[in-house]
Amino acid sequence: MWRRALRAGLGVRGMATNKKKSPVPPKEVDGKTRFDLRPFDPFLIDSPTPYAYSDQSELLEYFRIMYRMRRMEIAADNLYKGQQIRGFCHLYDGQEAVAVGMDAVLTFEDPLITAYRNHCQMLSRGSNVKEILAELTGRYAGVSKGKGGSMHMYNRKNNYYGGNGIVGAQVPLGAGLAFALKYEKKANIAVTMFGDGAANQGQIAEAINMAVIWKLPILFVCENNQYGMGTSALRASATQDFYKRENYIPGLKMDGMDVLAVREGMKFAKEYAINSGPLYIEMDTYRYHGHSMSDPGVTYRSKDEINDIKKSRDPIDRVKERLIEQSWSTAEDLKAIEKEIKIEVDEAAAFSKVADAPPVETLYHHIYHETFPIRGTLLNNGTRVGFSST
- Are residues 106 and 252 both part of a single domain? yes
Is 381 found in the same domain as 269?
A: no
Asked whether residue 63 is domain-assigned, the answer is yes
More confident residue, 366 or 176: 176
Residue 325 lies in a domain: yes
Domain span at residue 59 reads 28-358
pLDDT at 246 over 50: yes
In a domain, 364, yes or no: yes
Per-residue model confidence as pLDDT tens digits over 289-333: 999 999 999 999 999 999 999 999 999 999 999 999 999 999 999
Q: Are residues 323 and 372 in the same domain?
A: no
Same domain for 369 and 347, yes or no, is: no
**pLDDT at position 23, please?**
78
Is residue 123 within 8 Å of 69, Cβ to Cβ?
Answer: yes
225 and 129 inside one domain: yes
Question: Does 253 share its domain with 317?
Answer: yes
Contacts of 346 (CB under 8 A, 6+ apart): 75
| Cα–Cα dist 320/332, whole Å | 11
Number of Cβ within 10 Å of residue 200's Cβ equals: 17
**Which stretch of 15-19, 183-187, 383-387 has the lowest confidence by average pLDDT?**
15-19
CATH number for the domain harbouring residue 94: 3.40.50.970
Residue 71: which of 96, 102, 97 has the closest Cα?
Answer: 96
283 has pLDDT over 50: yes
Three-class DSSP category at 1: coil
User: Cα–Cα distance between 27 and 180 in angstroms, integer?
Assistant: 42
Question: Do 266 and 347 have their domain in common?
Answer: yes
pLDDT at 230: 85
- Residue 384 sits in the same domain as residue 255: no
Question: Alpha helices, DSSP H only, in 20-164?
Answer: 56-81, 96-103, 119-124, 129-136
Residue of 82, 176, 71 whose CA lies nearest to 123: 71
d(C-alpha 260, C-alpha 282), whole Å: 15
Q: What are the residues whose beta carbons fall under 8 Å from the beta carbon of 86, sequence distance 6 or more?
A: 138, 149
Residue 217 lies in a domain: yes
Q: Which amino acid is at 382?
A: G
3-state secondary structure of 284: strand
Domain assignment present for 4? no
* Residues 348, 333 share a domain: yes
87: left (phi over 0), alpha (psi -120 to 50) or beta: left
18 within domain boundaries: no
SS (H, E, C) 336-381: HHHHHHHHHHHHHHHHHHHCCCCCHHHHHCCCCCCCCCCCCCECCC
How do the residues of the chain divide into helix, strand and coil, expressed in percent and rounded to 5?
45, 10, 45
Is there a domain that residue 111 lies in? Answer: yes
pLDDT digits (tens, 9 = 90+) for 207-219: 999 999 999 999 9
* Number of domains into which the chain is organized: 2
Strand, helix or coil for residue 261: helix
Helical pair 96-103 and 315-325, crossing angle rounded to 10 deg: 60
Name which of 150, 160, 149 is nearest 108 in CA terms. 160
For residue 239, give the H/E element and its range. Answer: none
Residue predicted with more confidence, 160 or 8: 160
* Phi, psi (deg, nearest 5) at residue 163: 50, 85
**Global confidence as pTM:** 0.89
Q: Quick check: is 173 in a domain?
A: yes
User: What does the pLDDT look like over 73-117, one tens digit per residue?
Assistant: 999 999 999 999 999 999 999 999 999 999 999 999 999 999 999
Q: Are residues 368 and 336 in the same domain?
A: no
d(CA 112, CA 3): 36
What is the rounded distance in angstroms from the CA atom of residue 338 to the CA atom of residue 349? 16
Residues 110 and 191 sit within 8 Å (Cβ to Cβ) = yes
In a 13 Å sphere around the CA of 367, the CA atoms on its Cβ side amount to: 13
Do 340 and 388 belong together in one domain? no
Q: How many percent of the chain have pLDDT more than 90?
A: 82
- Rounded CA-CA distance 65/242 in Å is 28
**Mean pLDDT across the stretch 21-26?**
80
How, if at all, do strands 32-36 and 51-54 pair? antiparallel
User: Are 371 and 239 part of one and the same domain?
Assistant: no
Number of residues written out for the chain? 390
